[in-house]
Amino acid sequence: MFHLISQIVFALIVVLYGVIGGTALITGRVLVPVWQRGYVLRPRLWGSGALAFVAGMALFRFVVPGGGTTILELVAPCGFVLMVAGVVLQILGRHPGRVRV
């Protein structure tokens, strides 16, 4: 039961973060989480990074644990690369050198 609840909560978080990233990518508005609001200079770049990060997380959580075939063994590194690329894109979308006060 706990495994099912954790999957549902994880799916809701992934969908919410994907919606926030997609909105930032499509509209170009700074519709990012509250803790990031004053820091994002390029919201489209940040949004594309959020979507890449979400795709990598979804691959890791829902696709990879499904089995042990050779195709899935190739998907795991792809999910990791997507998550790292998403984080890099989100960092590049922030203000350079802005310090949190």
Looking at the chain, the whole-number percentage of residues with pLDDT higher than 90 is 20
pLDDT at 99 over 60: no
Give mean pLDDT, residues 7-12.
Answer: 89
- Give which of 32, 72, 75, 73 is closest to 51, Cα–Cα: 32
Please indicate whether residue 85 or residue 1 has the higher confidence score (pLDDT). Answer: 85
pLDDT digits (tens, 9 = 90+) for 50-88: 999 999 988 877 776 656 666 777 777 888 899 999 999
Give mean pLDDT, residues 11-39.
Answer: 81
For position 65, what pLDDT does the model report?
A: 63
Domain range for 7 is 2-92
C-alpha 25/C-alpha 31 separation (Å) is 9
State how many domains the chain has. Answer: 1
Residue 26 · residue 46 · CB < 8 Å: no
Residue 6 forms part of a structural domain: yes
Give mean pLDDT, residues 19-26.
Answer: 87
Residue 98 forms part of a structural domain: no
Residue 51 forms part of a structural domain: yes
Residue 100 forms part of a structural domain: no
